[in-house]
Chains A and B, each alone.
Chain A
């Protein structure tokens, strides 16, 4: 079953003074079960708009969006979906614990199962200490972690996350990255938008790049990385003079260059594949779109 199906989706906003904003233009996308999909795009590209349509917050101008095989406007479609909105805000008069219970009950959890899940997500996202404080007093990063906790509380099959890393410190980022990798290994479907290409590199199976409301590329991350490996950086050091040097070599010439450096009395300290990483892939697409 396709978890997310988007066909020929367009969205036009009617802004102030009747100005029209084309946020999405005939976009199509299909996400399979068990897939981890990274949704990359510059600011204002239309990532959040796409996600809002998938979650039924707004309706497409044309085209179809389906979630779990149902039209996105059906509330039942969201029964096995965990959703984290962009810059989330929650009923801030409640405590984290109360809010999580509220969400869990709506997803049909109760009793022991609810308590178990509650403890699980609270410790998973390091919210144990703050659990009894009103959300009103939370820092941005804490709210973000609570957002993930509420998306995970019912152990959903599918996760739809709009910028899950935003507002988090490096520790929090590492934590969330860890959590996402864990979920991926459990075979959950993850669809998330981000600006951070390295996260996509580490977490995702596939990546889609959206620019100005148009899907520019959908690729397997592996393929991109493989295709983009252009050569190696060889870090060498002269033991006597202490001279450091970095030499670039293409894959073909690598053995020869190592040998010749040795001959000159250098020691190889580090060998780095110079992957022209996802970032450059992304930047290339954005740049070519600008021209």
Chain B
């Protein structure tokens, strides 16, 4: 598994993905000047924009790296040559997943540093009313990264049952939509107007809420932008949720992949 991880990480780097990210990251230096368009919250806007850039890059990476990873191996018939090795399908899958997960972590680290620098520059030029809480920024970057790692696990889950990259990519985009909206829908169901909906619909929606991932919990943007306190127990619970959910999805993916015919 370790070897599969290493080889795949190398592959991602050799595909010049990282270079592409660095090119995209050249937008960061523009953020301070764009942020000065804000009337009252220049630093806050620069944090908002930096996070938007970071999460956008991570989203693209998660969907395209994750969605094409297994598919590419099958399509280019690498699976045949891997099949001769004394590896279980699960080890192979996890190795590949780990490569992307670690790559996302690395990208988050680099982009996170750029983000901190950008925000620092802005906060020097336009000191905000409430001082920036740097710890919040770091936490928010980390949790965004975890969120996208969770999303990558879905691309793998879909890849194990699909022969093309359509399901992995579009399926994952759908999961992302549902996952970011699920909390909103759930809150609506709890509200008086939600209670007026047909009971069956309420039950189905509530059931779905527990099945689909909840990405809202990973969004600490507001805490980072407006220097609000981060609830520690919430963070802990979210971390646990991440681990448990990831284990479940990866187990399902491994189970399905072990039964997959590799033609």
Contact = CB atoms under 8 A, between A and B. Distances in A.
Direct contact of A and B (CB under 8 A): yes
B78 A58 contact: no
Nearest to B79: A57
Contact of B81 (A75, A81, A90, A160): A90
Given A58-B263, A59-B261, A78 B77 contact: no
Contacts of B88: 75
A56 interface: yes
B86 A75 contact: yes
A271 B157 CA distance: 67
8 contacts: A55-B83, A56-B83, A78-B86, A82-B84, A105-B3, A107-B85, A150-B81, A151-B84
A85 B84 contact: yes
Nearest to A77: B86
Contact of A89 (B10, B11, B78, B84): B78
A88 B81 contact: yes
B262 interface: yes
B7 A102 contact: yes
A106 B3 CA distance: 7
A77 B15 CA distance: 34
A88 B261 contact: no
Interface in B1-60: 3-4, 6-7, 10-11, 14-15
A89 B76 contact: yes
Contacts, number: 79
Interface in A240-281: none
A90 B262 CA distance: 16
A93 B14 contact: yes
Given A59-B261, A89-B80, A102 B3 contact: yes
A29 interface: no
**Among B4, B14, B86, B88: residue with most chain A CB under 10 A:** B86
Contacts of A79: 86
A255 to B, nearest CB: 54
A76 B86 contact: yes
Contact of B262 (A58, A76, A83, A94): A58
Given A57-B261, A58-B262, A106-B3, A93 B11 contact: yes
B89 to A, nearest CB: 8
- Which 7 A-B residue pairings sit nearest by Cβ, starting from the closest? A83-B84, A85-B80, A93-B14, A79-B86, A75-B88, A57-B262, A78-B86
B13 to A, nearest CB: 9
Nearest to B91: A75
A91 B7 CA distance: 8
B87 interface: yes
Contacts of A90: 78, 81
A193 B17 CA distance: 40
A58 to B, nearest CB: 5
A198 interface: no
A87 B261 CA distance: 18
A2 B78 CA distance: 29
Interface in A115-137: 134
B83 A57 contact: yes
Interface string A55-82: 1111100000000000000011111011
A106 B78 contact: no
A180 interface: no
